[in-house]
Every structure is written in structure tokens, then in C-alpha cells.
Amino acid sequence: MKKSRSLITAISIFIVMVSTLSSCATISKQIAKISPEQIEVNAFTGAPGSNGPVLAVKIDDTNAAHPQVGLEFADVIYIEQVEAGLTRLLAIYSSKIPKDIGPIRSLRIGDIDLLAQYGRVGLAYSGAQSKMRPVIAAANIEDLGAERNSPTIYYRDPNRSAPTNMILNSAPLMAKAKNLVSAKNMGWQFGKKPAGGQVISAVKISWPNANYGAIWSESESRWLLSHNNLANLSASGIQLGSPTLVIQLVKISPSIYGDKFGGVTPMSETVGTGPGYVLRDSEVFRATWNRISAETGTTWLLEDGSELPFTPGQIWIALTDQEPIFTYLTPKSPSASPATTK
């Protein structure tokens, strides 16, 4: 009787073991079927993330507007010159749209040309001068501006002072948006660092009355930004920065538009071709940008004509007509004091 029970027990254990091994084999096969191609990659950043509907947001960049809200989640951020030689930002969101974004400010004419390459995006902004309204109405965008929405969507932060206190509550705004384009390839590519770059430790980018700086962080593998000589911190306390920093040299000329104080709105011309710099992996690469029409994306080529790949991740693009100042590390002695040159 005892032998029979022992035999039954042994058979039961054997069956359980076979069943367990079979289940493990099935799970292993299922895991093996998951390939890198099945992980969604955002087309704007080349990093893991969804290709959701695209929201463009106009954000104040004066000293009083800092720290800004939600910029660390943007996929692409443009720095543009506005009146009085100051800067303003155009942030592009797709992979993740945070709940709060801001401070929100008014649109500029250069934004219409910039956004044309993205397709029909949702556009969030505080307002625009009356002369620009026909241009906005004719553009291939969905106007999601503050004038069309309630103060619960564009609300005022009581801890900030006007006019830098308007914050966007994005969720109800996006719930209203219809037929927005999803993220798509914008012309730039992603890949390994090419040969031919120069090692730098820092860069300074200037406009008449504003500047940005960036230093390379080896520990974070990205460029850490400063704004007007102070660390560029988000409202969450994170220092803003990106693995790829683009400096696009453009022609900036007066437009027929202006602000309510009589200042003339400058226009940064981003259609055409011109020189620039791409910073990645602690190195700077001189390059040429090309954008053949307002509806097409911008490509970046090395001096030999080959494509210059970006590092996957958030991208900052500075539109300026001034040559940046780089702090180069001397090749003979990397530990020596850096030499600063243009």
C-alpha cells in the first residue's frame, strides 16, 4: 500500500514538473516573439514613446516666466527671437502631454511657417494681434487658443504675476481637439555619433537681449541648459536639457507685424538652406540644414553630404543669426583648461 502511494506521489510530482516546464517554454517563446520593432518609438525623438496627436504650445521665455511648467515632457522645443531681442518658445508635444503647461503667451508670425512642416497640429496660445488672425485662420492648424476656450482650460496661477501666469490645463483641451496629425518623421534622422566632431565642454547662444548656455553632463548624457546665465530649471525642479542641441543659423528680419507696445516682430526664416551646428555626445558638428518648402521637414547634412544623425531623446532647436561661442577642449591635453573661441 505504501509503495502504491509513493508511486502515485512520484507520478504526480513528475506531471507537475512537466507541466511547469511546458509553461516556461511557452512563456519563453512568447517573450522571444517580442522584437524591438514592436516597441513604439516616437518619430520626433527617436526614443520609446507613443506617436500621439501633436500639440504645439507657445510659451513665455522672459526671466519672469521661469521656472516654466511641463517643458521637460516636450519632444521638440524651438527658441525664437521676438520683440526687443527677447526669446519665446514653441514646444511640440506628442509622446506625452503633461497636465499643466506654461506660462502661455501669444503667437508670432514665424510660428505659422515652423508648424507647417508638422501638418495639422493643435495650437495652444494666449492670443494674437488682429492683423495675424486671417493668417491663423488660413493655416493648416486647429486653433485651440485661449480666446476660444474657457478659463478652466487656460487658468491663472495665483502664485505668478500677469502676464506670465496663464497655464494650460491640457486634458480638457485635447478632449476637444479633432483630426490632429500624429507624430511623423520630420527630416532629421537618429543613429550613432559620426566621425569628425570637435569635443567641447560648453556653448553660449545669443540673441540681442537673451542668451542660452549649455554644458555637457557626462553622468546624464545630455546638455544641461542655462537661461540668461542661470540654471534653466523647470517648475518640477529638473534642470532642462537634451541629448541633442541644434543651433540653426537663420536670417532674422523685420516683419509687417508688431506687438501692442509698438515693437516690430522679427521673422526667423526657416525655409531654405543655411549653416548650423548639431551638438551631441559632448561634441559639436558643423552642418547644413535644408528645408525646401514650408510643408517639408528639415534635414541636416555633414560637410561631406552625409546625413548627420541625432541622439534619440528630446531636441532643443535654437533659431538665431548670431554665431555661437564654443568652449573647446584642447585635443593635446583633455585635462587642460578649455580654450574659448567662436
Write out the three cell numbers for 291. 528645408
- My answer on whether 82 and 166 are in the same domain is yes
Q: Residue 276: inside a domain, yes or no?
A: yes
- My answer on whether 119 and 169 are in the same domain is yes
Dihedral (C-alpha) 314, 316, 317, 318: value to the nearest 10 degrees?
180
- My answer on whether 336 and 221 are in the same domain is yes
Mean pLDDT over the full length of the chain: 88
Residue 92, H or E segment? strand 87-93
- My answer on whether 142 and 86 are in the same domain is yes
pLDDT, one tens digit per residue, over 232-260 is 999 999 999 999 999 999 999 999 998 87
Write out the three cell numbers for 207. 540673441
Lowest-pLDDT choice from 172-176, 177-181, 282-286, 333-337: 333-337
Lowest-pLDDT choice from 11-25, 98-112, 215-229: 11-25
- My answer on whether 169 and 63 are in the same domain is yes
Q: Residue 32: inside a domain, yes or no?
A: no
For residues 198-213, average pLDDT: 98
Contact predicate 86/211, CB 8 Å = no
Give the contacts of 327 (CB within 8 A, at least 6 positions apart): 200, 201, 202, 203, 338, 339, 340
- My answer on whether 166 and 204 are in the same domain is no
pLDDT at residue 330, rounded to an integer: 63
Half-sphere exposure of 19 (CA within 13 A, CB side): 6
Q: How many domains does the chain have?
A: 2
Q: What sign does the CA torsion over 113, 288, 41, 38 have?
A: positive
pLDDT, one tens digit per residue, over 50-100 is 999 999 999 999 999 999 999 999 999 999 999 999 999 999 999 999 999
List the one residue out of 256, 274, 325, 268 whose CA is nearest residue 85. 268
CA separation, residue 6 to residues 16, 66, 165, 317 (Å): 15, 76, 78, 74
User: Final residue of a domain: which of 122, 145, 176?
Assistant: 176
Which CATH number fits the domain that encloses residue 88?
3.50.90.10
Q: Residue 7: inside a domain, yes or no?
A: no
Is the bond into 163 cis (omega within 30 degrees of 0)?
yes
- My answer on whether 157 and 85 are in the same domain is yes
Q: Residue 300: inside a domain, yes or no?
A: yes
Quote the strand ranges of 121-239, DSSP E: 121-124, 141-143, 154-156, 166-169, 198-207, 210-217, 222-227, 230-231
User: Final residue of a domain: which of 118, 144, 176?
Assistant: 176
Q: Residue 15: inside a domain, yes or no?
A: no
Q: Residue 187: inside a domain, yes or no?
A: no
pTM for the predicted model, two decimal places: 0.86
Residue 298 CA to residue 42 CA, distance in Å, equals: 17
* Residue 337 banded pLDDT, cuts 50, 70, 90: very low
- My answer on whether 240 and 117 are in the same domain is no
- My answer on whether 210 and 307 are in the same domain is yes
Q: Residue 192: inside a domain, yes or no?
A: no
Residue 168 has pLDDT above 60, yes or no: yes
- My answer on whether 170 and 205 are in the same domain is no
Give residue 100's domain range: 55-176
Q: Residue 77: inside a domain, yes or no?
A: yes
Contact predicate 156/163, CB 8 Å = no
- My answer on whether 137 and 209 are in the same domain is no
pLDDT, one tens digit per residue, over 282-319 is 999 999 999 999 999 999 999 999 999 999 999 999 99
pLDDT at residue 8, rounded to an integer: 43
- My answer on whether 256 and 152 are in the same domain is no
For residues 197-202, average pLDDT: 96
